[in-house]
Amino acid sequence: MAKSSAPESLPAPHPLSPPLVLLMATATGLAVASNYFAQPLLPTMAREFNLSVTGAGIIVTTAQLGYATGLLLIVPLGDLFERRGLIVAMTLLAATGLLTIALAPAIPMVLVGTALTGLFSVVAQILVPFAATLAAPEERGKVVGTVMSGLLLGILFARTVAGALTPLGGWRTVYWVGAAAMVLTAVVLRRILPRHHQPVALSYFRLIHSISTLFREEPVLRIRALLGACAFANFSVFWTSMAFLLAAPPYRMAPGTIGLFGLAGAAGALAASGAGRLADRGRGDRVTGAGLAILLFSWLPLTFGRHSLTAFVVGVLLLDLAVQAIHISNQTAIYRLRPEVRNRLTAAYMTSYFIGGAAGSLASASAYSHFGWLGVVAVGVAFSACGGIIWTVIQLRD
């Protein structure tokens, strides 16, 4: 693949200690988790608000579209403003979105709160390039992998936490607790994160326009953005409809039990934490290829998940392992391109990533509504095959 000739890195402005990496990973996980509390709760929310399966799926799609909008319009601000202050403000605004959902009397207000939460929980995507900037070049893949593991674990544990809290006080309890956790996180970040400001001589509108320039000038970014979109589409295809499958016969599981499947996904995510280390050793392309192959294969055991919980768990492990491995190798590749514009590279890549996720959740809800679980599997296989074909063509061309 084409390589950028830009300098590899800028000097780290602040030492990046293991406790600071852990804090950034935790904050990233909490921020992104706020978009995924709803997934195991969709059957419950659908009953309360009298929604169809497709209508309930709109909640997930709204979260991902809000996130994609924030990636495009807000994340680039990390290249303009002092990052600690920006991160703290966005964390508090995401908490406001969670409070709006908790207080919502009807589905329109739920969607408003969901969109607001999605818009500002992109603070996670300011924390990731911030960690990459603070890291030494030889440890960047490892640091990005650790922080990204926090992000994916946040997505997965969100389901487990949501399922566990719902029996204690209803689904709204999840959002009250989530809002409180975000406020506490903002306080800790304000006290511990280093200040960092590396301004660029651009207006906001020129900054946003420069994202399209990056897409035009960096073939690695274009390819990795497409692969990321296909990978996260798979993730959303599975997790959007999973709760409906498990709540229906023969399983008939309650939200608390459904949420426990996030633990299986978390195990897969942790297994992929070594992807960053392999990328640091120059094996990022191998990680990507292996991840795409595992992603496609994961839908085989998931097909039998209609009747076998063992096959279902194996499929969850493989799918989340693959998505995390592809994502880490993608981000490690794009962060080598132009260190001085990492927030805009993140915005470009992650906007594509979450557009893929939104497409996956919408397609999944529709497929399940019309064709059941086998329809969901077919959509997942299609997205997986698309990513595999793109990667194969690129490898053969190079």
Q: Give me the CATH number covering residue 283.
A: 1.20.1250.20
Instruction: Please state, in angstroms and rounded to a whole number, the distance separating the CA atoms of residues 122 and 395.
Output: 32
Distance CA 141, CA 135 (A): 9
- The arithmetic mean of pLDDT across residues 345-360, rounded, is 87
Within a domain: 9: no
Q: What is the pLDDT of residue 308?
A: 94
The arithmetic mean of pLDDT across residues 195-211, rounded, is 78
Q: pLDDT for 38-88, tens place per residue?
A: 888 888 898 899 988 888 888 988 998 898 899 888 988 887 888 899 999
Q: Is residue 254 part of a domain?
A: yes
Q: Is residue 106 in some structural domain?
A: yes
Domain range for 76 is 18-194+202-397
pLDDT at 141 over 70: yes
In the chain, the number of structural domains is: 1
Question: Is position 248 within any domain?
Answer: yes
Which DSSP symbol is given to 106?
Answer: S
pTM of the model: 0.75
**Domain for residue 2, yes or no?**
no
Closest CA to 365 of 32, 47, 59, 44: 59
Phi-psi region of 338 (alpha: psi -120 to 50; beta: other; left: phi over 0): beta
> How many whole angstroms separate alpha carbon 35 and alpha carbon 64?
8
Q: What is the pLDDT of residues 97-108, one digit of tens each?
A: 999 999 999 999
How large is the C-alpha radius of gyration of the chain? 20
Amino acid symbol at 329? S
211, 72 in Cβ contact below 8 A? yes
**Of the ranges 43-47, 178-182, 207-211, 276-280, the best mean pLDDT one:** 178-182
CB 235 within 8 A of CB 16: no
Domain-embedded: residue 122: yes
Is the model's pLDDT at 271 over the cut of 70? no
227 located within any domain: yes
- 3 within a domain of the structure (yes/no): no
